[in-house]
Amino acid sequence: MQTEKGQSIEDASMEMIENEIGDHNYNEKEWPIVRRIIHSTADFDFADKNKIIFSKEAIESGIKALKNGCSIVVDVNGVLGGLNKQNPKDFGNNVICNISSPEIMELAKKQGKTRSQVSMRYASSEIDGGIVAIGNAPTALVEVISMVKEGLVKPALIIGIPVGFICAPESKEELSKLTDAPFITNIGRKGGSSSASAIINALYKLLRADLPS
């Protein structure tokens, strides 16, 4: 739970973001998500229109899945660290990160793949109907896209915002063309675990705002 002091700092930060950005082209559901990404990164480039891409009904699909207790599969422990831990408890969401599992390490060696690739395949049953959030590993995102195209999984939402130089921009461009699953992604090299967890935290905040008081 947020302390009173912590909440006051967050509120002041959000107000500062609003004042510095001014007008923007995101709608009333998109902007709270973009604003929280900016809050987590201090990077105002994300406010530029089309830097963050939302597929049709991505936000609605993500909120509905969280409300219904879906699993959340993440690529690295850094995404776990940035999550508000109370939210999954309150809505019964199982958060899964298999990247450090000895079994995943062994499978990756045998298959000649990255651990993040193997960890996505390993969690296919949780990804199907769930939310997958990738902030660090482009190969994980490419693997999830392949799984969707194969008909193996149909996630409620793919959050694909890996940071990096090798394959990161390309993997997000490929996600932006996907028609078989809702997604939130961005253009270019920027992103990261903090951005991925910020998106999930923002979705929970939108979900709570929609609940009857």
CA distances from 140 to 13, 82, 134, 180, 183 (A): 32, 19, 7, 17, 15
Distances (CA, A) of 167 to 35, 47, 173: 26, 23, 10
Residue 39 annotated to the active site? yes
Indicate which residue of 39, 115, 172, 190 is catalytic: 39
Per-residue pLDDT of the chain (213 residues; tens, 9 = 90+): 567 766 878 888 888 888 888 788 899 999 999 999 999 999 999 998 778 999 999 999 999 999 999 999 999 999 999 999 999 999 999 999 999 999 999 999 999 999 999 999 999 999 999 999 999 999 999 999 999 999 999 999 999 999 999 999 999 999 999 999 999 999 999 999 999 999 999 999 999 998 886
Sign of CA dihedral 141, 142, 143, 144: positive
Burial class of residue 130, CB neighbours in 10 A (0-12, 13-18, 19+): buried
Q: Are 160 and 141 in contact (CB under 8 A)?
A: yes
Query: Which residue in 89, 87, 76 sits closest to 117, CA to CA?
Result: 76
* Residue type present at position 174: E
* CATH class of segment(s) 52-210: alpha beta
Distance CA 90, CA 135 (A): 24
pLDDT value of residue 145: 98
- Residue 37 near residue 190 (C-beta atoms within 8 A): no
DSSP-assigned beta bridge partners for residue 184: 54, 159
Distance between CA atoms of residues 17 and 117, nearest Å: 36
* H or E segment to which residue 185 belongs: strand 183-186
**Residues 168 and 52: beta-carbon distance below 8 Å:** no
Q: What is the pLDDT of residue 32?
A: 94
